[in-house]
Amino acid sequence: QASRLVELPYSSFDEDDDDNEDTEHDPGVWYPDPPKLSPFSHCVRYLAILWNLLFLLLGLLALALGVWGLLAKSPLPGGLPLGSDPMLLFVLAGLAASTVSLAGCLGTLRANPCLLRFFLGAVLAFGGLQVLGGLLLLLARRRLRDALRDLLLLCLLRYQQDPDLQFLVDEVQRSLQCCGLESYRDWESNPYFNCSAPGVQACGVPASCCLQPLQNGSVPNAQCGFGALALEAAVAGSLLNVGGCGAALGAWLRGQAGLIAAGAITLLLLEAVGALMALRVLGDI
């Protein structure tokens, strides 16, 4: 019987199995429990979820507004390219805000470090771009005024081609009681209001330039500016706001500088709060 015994070759798996069995039955081995979150950490997580849900809803609202604006004008009038449509800004801003907020919400809810790092990096990038943009505005105020003038001139030229620009120009002229860029004569550069144009609006200005755009105090008078460019300056001054919108808009912006700065600082503080909450959740993970 002894001669029948065969010595088996040595294998490292045998030693590993012995080690595993010893580890399983060794009462001296201690496995630490995962750390429990403090009440403050739970509160931070709930606040982070609510914070991201709020910005997610705002981003989706801006995205829906931009998509609705693009679809309402499809196909774009006058053959304008999609990149020049102002509603595209709402689409891009809403898409970015909703994507980042969704990542922060899911990252906090599922305790996912990857999503939280993406959210944190995006918030820091947005904050850095805002600070950089503010510094550039302070350093290049003259160029900003020139860019604003060019934008107003572009709005005058495309007044009849884009409903959004038309609404914007009318609101600016009506609220600031102005007309054109430098004066009401700037509407001669528009191909529809030029005196050589074939339409009924030739040699006229939009109704938003009129001193009394309402007929009988209640009914909008869309023809109050017809033929205004053919009138003498004194006669036109009795019917229209002859001053330009460039100086009026610049004065309005200077008057609202404090409110604009307060809004920008508030937005930066909100982003800082979101970043701090994300850092706290990452630390707990």
Name the more confident of 259 and 216: 259
Average pLDDT, the chain: 78
Whole-number Cα distances in Å, 265 to 83, 118, 217: 30, 23, 42
Provide the whole-model pTM: 0.64
Q: How does pLDDT run across 96-152, given as a tens digit for each residue? A: 989 999 988 888 888 888 888 999 889 889 888 888 888 877 776 677 777 777 778
Beta strand spans in 207-250 (E): 214-215, 219-220
Please name which of 72, 54, 75 lies closest in space to residue 64, comparing C-alpha atoms.
72
Contacts of 258 (CB under 8 A, 6+ apart): none
Report the distance separating Cα 100 and Cα 58, nearest Å.
12
Q: What is the pLDDT of residue 57?
A: 92
Q: How does pLDDT run across 133-147, given as a tens digit for each residue? A: 888 777 766 777 777
Domains of the chain, each with CATH number or no CATH: 39-70+86-147+257-284 (no CATH), 153-252 (1.10.1450)
